[in-house]
């Protein structure tokens, strides 16, 4: 599809479409006029001898160092060369591609004073699928994502490495092949490439797509697990849940209640344990956090995060690059997904404990000679323990940088790196719960009035364990089957 920037009112649905399709991105003709006007304004103000941060001064604690007219272009080049320092493995290329788009979209709104040519150079990377290799660690989420965005900018200069046709190659080699000349930065253009929150925003958007998929699947899993232990239907009656009307609480109760009515059975308990009975209430609280994080993301990706910026021919220097909102949203998401994984682990324990008279301990015939899913439950315990550790908020761990000029920072990137690991652990824990459901389905007699989609998927793809088998490959198969980020399987029972 062809996308013309700036796109107004960006949202998570747009991000999902952008990441799942091949797009050609161009600048709107009307936007080019505003971009050029801001660029001309910036040059005029400089010619008048005014001092502008990061244009004819140094950066950060070097703000009082005046830069001569002869050196202001060299200043921008040196900024990128010096700031393109990171650590660790590379981001998924989709995250980097999205970050480039978000930065280009923001610059195309005409507040930064850069040239149209710079934005086109960014769009060339997207349109030719030349995606910079950017390391995950190095951003403190204030003054923008300096390290990762500088690694993107480094590629424009013909340096660094890129993902190109399923390989990691030197940028210089790829540029020669594609006949691209290294970009020569003009005044402020280096600073405008790196002062912003687009790397954190792209990372959060990428993770939110996955989190929403996981959350929706987890509601279906909740219904199945409750059916396996023959939960009490009255606990999920909508007349009860409408008295505490969180949207996702009501939705989860509706799904669980639907599953419990797919067959006739006698409840095993007058009142189920909290990990069964309180599932709707817990899902309701998690859903509120997901909605909050989505709202924060959508405000951020429609914001101007550069510094300084030009408004009505006047220069403003501020702090819109501060990533505190993203940091707090990511920390809250991490805590919420940890709660989701804790709930799943408790249900795994309940299914495998032998407490239910119809289900053998560790969900295996002939326990003793067979260990069944004993180790699967232990693995889930190890992962939830790690999630608890990772749930400590990074947003309150600020340390001063840049000789104390940047004396409080958001640490938003660390919040997101923790969240990424929490999400990965949670996928495994939920996969173990699905494995437990698969075993329980074959161990108890259930006469379905209507067999739901997710059960058909389980029966067709997950083998029944008559006796002990290696579980690693089975668990990997479940994760691959159910946790495709962009195109998860359709398991929704209720239209």
Reported as a single tens digit per residue, the pLDDT across 212-223 is 999 999 999 999
Q: Is residue 490 domain-resident?
A: no
Residue range(s) defining the domain that contains residue 112? 2-196
E strands along 36-138, which residues?
87-90, 131-132, 135-137
Are residues 177 and 133 part of one domain? yes
Verify whether residue 53 is a known catalytic residue: yes
Per-position b or e across 452-491, b if 16+ CB within 10 A of its CB: bebbebbeeebeebeebeebeebbeebbebbbebeebeeb
Q: How many domains does the chain have?
A: 2
Verify whether residue 83 is a known catalytic residue: yes
What is the pLDDT, as a whole number, of residue 469? 94
Residue (of 224, 234, 230) closest to 358 by Cα position: 230
At a CB cut-off of 8 Å and minimum separation 6, what does 234 contact? Answer: 240
Tens digit of each residue's pLDDT (9 = 90 or more) over 77-132: 999 999 999 999 999 999 999 999 999 999 999 999 999 999 999 999 999 999 99
Catalytic site residue from 53, 246, 265, 349: 53
What is the pLDDT, as a whole number, of residue 495? 46
Residue (of 447, 461, 457, 407) closest to 230 by Cα position: 447
User: pTM of this prediction?
Assistant: 0.95
Q: Say how far apart CA 459 and CA 457 lie, in whole Å.
A: 6
Q: Is residue 246 domain-resident?
A: yes
Q: Say how far apart CA 308 and CA 317 lie, in whole Å.
A: 4
Q: Say how far apart CA 100 and CA 123 lie, in whole Å.
A: 8
Domain end call among 148, 169, 196:
196
Q: Which two tokens stand for residue 380?
A: 């889930």
Are residues 184 and 326 part of one domain? no
Q: Is residue 307 domain-resident?
A: yes
Q: Which two tokens stand for residue 33?
A: 């006029």
Verify whether residue 258 is a known catalytic residue: no
Are residues 221 and 154 part of one domain? no
Are residues 412 and 351 part of one domain? yes
At a CB cut-off of 8 Å and minimum separation 6, what does 178 contact? Answer: 128, 130
At a CB cut-off of 8 Å and minimum separation 6, what does 61 contact? Answer: 402, 403, 404, 405
Domain end call among 196, 231, 249:
196
Q: Is residue 323 domain-resident?
A: yes
Cα 404 to Cα 41, 62, 86, 246, 464: the distances in Å are 32, 11, 21, 44, 61
Q: Is residue 202 domain-resident?
A: no
SS (H, E, C) 355-412: CCCCCCHHHCCCECCECCCHHHHHHHHHHHHHHHHHCCCHHHCCCCEHHHCECCCCCH
Residue bearing tokens 């190109």: 164
Catalytic site residue from 277, 292, 461, 492: 277
Verify whether residue 274 is a known catalytic residue: yes
Catalytic site residue from 175, 257, 259, 321: 321
What is the domain-level CATH number for residue 413?
A: 1.20.200.10
What angle in degrees, to the nearest 10, is found between the helix axes of 146-156 and 116-127?
90
What is the pLDDT, as a whole number, of residue 485? 63
Are residues 461 and 403 part of one domain? yes
Q: Is residue 215 domain-resident?
A: yes
What is the pLDDT, as a whole number, of residue 188? 93
Catalytic site residue from 56, 195, 232, 425: 195
Are residues 232 and 190 part of one domain? no
Q: Say how far apart CA 382 and CA 308 lie, in whole Å.
A: 47
Q: Which two tokens stand for residue 476?
A: 């990997």
What is the pLDDT, as a whole number, of residue 494? 60
Catalytic site residue from 18, 83, 101, 183: 83
Are residues 295 and 191 part of one domain? no
Are residues 25 and 130 part of one domain? yes
What is the domain-level CATH number for residue 71?
A: 1.10.275.10
Domain end call among 171, 196, 221:
196
Are residues 109 and 225 part of one domain? no
Residue bearing tokens 């359709």: 490
Cα 438 to Cα 33, 371, 442: the distances in Å are 60, 16, 7
Verify whether residue 18 is a known catalytic residue: no
Are 211 and 286 in contact by the 8 Å Cβ rule? The answer is no
Verify whether residue 277 is a known catalytic residue: yes
Are residues 284 and 192 part of one domain? no
Are 107 and 119 in contact by the 8 Å Cβ rule? The answer is yes
Low-confidence ranges of the chain (pLDDT < 50): 495
Coil, helix or strand at residue 314: strand
Are 165 and 220 in contact by the 8 Å Cβ rule? The answer is no
Verify whether residue 448 is a known catalytic residue: no
Q: Say how far apart CA 96 and CA 23 lie, in whole Å.
A: 15
Q: How many CB atoms lie within 10 A of CB 36?
A: 14
Q: Is residue 264 domain-resident?
A: yes
Are residues 284 and 146 part of one domain? no
Are residues 255 and 192 part of one domain? no
Q: Is residue 201 domain-resident?
A: no
Catalytic site residue from 50, 71, 117, 274: 274
């Amino acid at each position: 599809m062809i996308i013309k920037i700036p796109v107004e009112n960006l949202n998570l649905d747009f991000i999902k479409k952008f990441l799942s399709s091949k797009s050609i991105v161009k600048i709107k003709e009307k936007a080019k006029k505003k971009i050029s006007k801001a660029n001309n304004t910036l040059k005029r103000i400089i010619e008048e001898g005014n001092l502008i941060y990061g244009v004819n001064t140094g950066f950060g604690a070097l703000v009082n160092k005046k830069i001569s007219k002869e050196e202001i272009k060299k200043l921008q080049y040196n900024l990128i060369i010096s700031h393109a320092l990171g650590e660790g493995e590379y981001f998924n290329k989709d995250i980097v591609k999205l970050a480039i788009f978000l930065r280009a979209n923001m610059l195309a709104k005409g507040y930064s004073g850069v040239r149209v040519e710079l934005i086109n150079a960014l769009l060339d990377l997207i349109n030719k699928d030349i995606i910079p290799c950017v390391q995950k660690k190095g951003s403190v989420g204030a003054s923008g994502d300096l390290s990762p965005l500088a690694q993107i900018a480094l590629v424009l200069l013909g340096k660094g490495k890129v993902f190109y046709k399923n390989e990691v190659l030197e940028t210089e080699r790829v540029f020669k092949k594609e006949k691209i000349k290294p970009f020569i930065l003009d005044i402020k253009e280096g600073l405008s490439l790196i002062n912003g929150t687009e790397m954190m925003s792209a990372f959060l958007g990428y993770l939110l797509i996955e989190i929403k998929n996981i959350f929706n699947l987890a509601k279906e899993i909740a219904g199945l697990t409750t059916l396996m232990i023959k939960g009490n239907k009255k606990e999920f009656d909508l007349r009860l849940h409408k008295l505490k009307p969180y949207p996702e609480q009501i939705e989860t109760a509706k799904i669980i209640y639907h599953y419990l009515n797919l067959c006739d059975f006698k409840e095993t308990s007058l009142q189920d344990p909290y990990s069964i009975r309180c599932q709707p209430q817990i899902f309701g609280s998690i859903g509120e956090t997901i909605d909050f994080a989505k709202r924060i993301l959508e405000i951020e990706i429609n914001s101007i995060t550069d510094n300084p910026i030009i408004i009505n021919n006047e220069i403003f220097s501020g702090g819109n690059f501060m990533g505190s909102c993203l940091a707090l949203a990511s920390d809250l998401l991490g805590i919420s997904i940890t709660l989701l994984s804790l709930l799943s682990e408790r249900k795994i324990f309940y299914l495998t404990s032998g407490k239910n008279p119809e289900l053998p301990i560790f969900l295996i015939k002939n326990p003793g000679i067979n260990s069944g899913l004993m180790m699967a439950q232990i693995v889930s315990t190890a992962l939830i323990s790690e999630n608890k550790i990772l749930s400590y908020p990074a947003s309150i761990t600020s340390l001063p940088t840049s000789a104390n000029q940047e004396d409080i920072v958001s640490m938003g990137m660390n919040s997101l790196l923790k969240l990424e690991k929490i999400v990965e652990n949670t996928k495994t824990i939920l996969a173990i719960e699905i494995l437990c459901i698969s075993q329980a389905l074959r161990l108890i007699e259930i006469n379905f009035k209507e067999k739901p989609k997710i059960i058909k998927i389980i029966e067709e793809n997950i083998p029944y364990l008559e006796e002990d088998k290696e579980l690693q490959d089975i668990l990997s198969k479940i994760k691959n089957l159910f946790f495709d980020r962009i195109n998860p399987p359709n398991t929704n029972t209720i239209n």
